[in-house]
Amino acid sequence: MSIHRLFLTWAVISCVFSWSVPLGAVETLEEPTEATVRDIAKSLRCAVCQNQSVYESNSDLAKDMLSVIRTKVAAGEQEGAIRDYFFQRYGDYIYLEPTTQGGNGLLWGGPFFALLLGGIALFSALKKWRRRETPVGKNPSVDTATDTFQNRLKNEMKQID
């Protein structure tokens, strides 16, 4: 019986220690500049990879860009100046989220403008169609067509009888 008790004690102790290890893990704090580097790198597109940020890419160019960002942040340059540096080298493509400046403003505002024009055109077309409608009782061509149809129907019914 003591072997069972010893085994049970060993199992409980090992479970307690294995569960307590993650609780005792210490979270490493990153440098304040690394948060800035991460923010800048996540907003820039890797020039080699498609739709992947510099921070997430494993390409050599992305690693070089990341080291340039780290160097510039360590030198005390502002985020805007660093982004402008990459804009000067790669153009508007380097930004993961397109800007609303220049020709991109037309791309951002174009759909809303087209929707507005379409709504105005639809409204004016519906307004014209409603004006063209006339009441059924006042249209003489409809009345004569109905009368002709009813007379023809009566004649055919008489022939069947």
pLDDT computed for residue 82 by the predictor? 92
Name beta bridge partners: 32: none
The reported pLDDT for the residue numbered 159 is 87
CA 118 – CA 121 distance, rounded (Å): 5
Owner of token pair 């059924």: 136
pLDDT of residue 127: 87
Note the pLDDT of residue 120: 95
* Domain boundary pick from 73, 94, 115: 94
Give the residue carrying structure tokens 């409603």: 130
| Number of domains comprising the chain | 2
pLDDT tens digits, residue range 61-110? 889 999 999 999 999 889 889 999 988 988 888 888 777 666 777 777 88
- Which of the listed residues 94, 112, 146 is the one where a domain comes to its end? 94
Domain of residue 128: give its range: 103-160
The DSSP string of 140-157 is HHHHHHHHHHHHHHHHHH
Tokens, residue 101: 């400046």
> How sure is the predictor about 20, in pLDDT bands with cuts at 50, 70 and 90?
low
Tens digit of pLDDT for each residue in 30-58? 577 888 888 999 989 888 887 888 888 88
For residue 147, what pLDDT is reported?
80
Q: Please indicate, yes or no, whether residues 44 and 89 belong to a single structural domain of this protein.
A: yes
CATH number of the domain within which 45 lies: 1.10.8.640
CA distance 41 to 55: 5
Question: Cβ contacts of residue 92 below 8 Å, gap of 6+?
Answer: 98, 99, 102, 104
At residue 118, the pLDDT reads: 94
Of the residues 43, 70, 94, which one is the last residue of a structural domain?
94
> Does 122 share its domain with 74?
no
Model confidence pLDDT, tens digit, residues 122-148? 999 988 888 766 555 555 565 677 788
Predicted local distance difference test score (pLDDT) of residue 116: 94
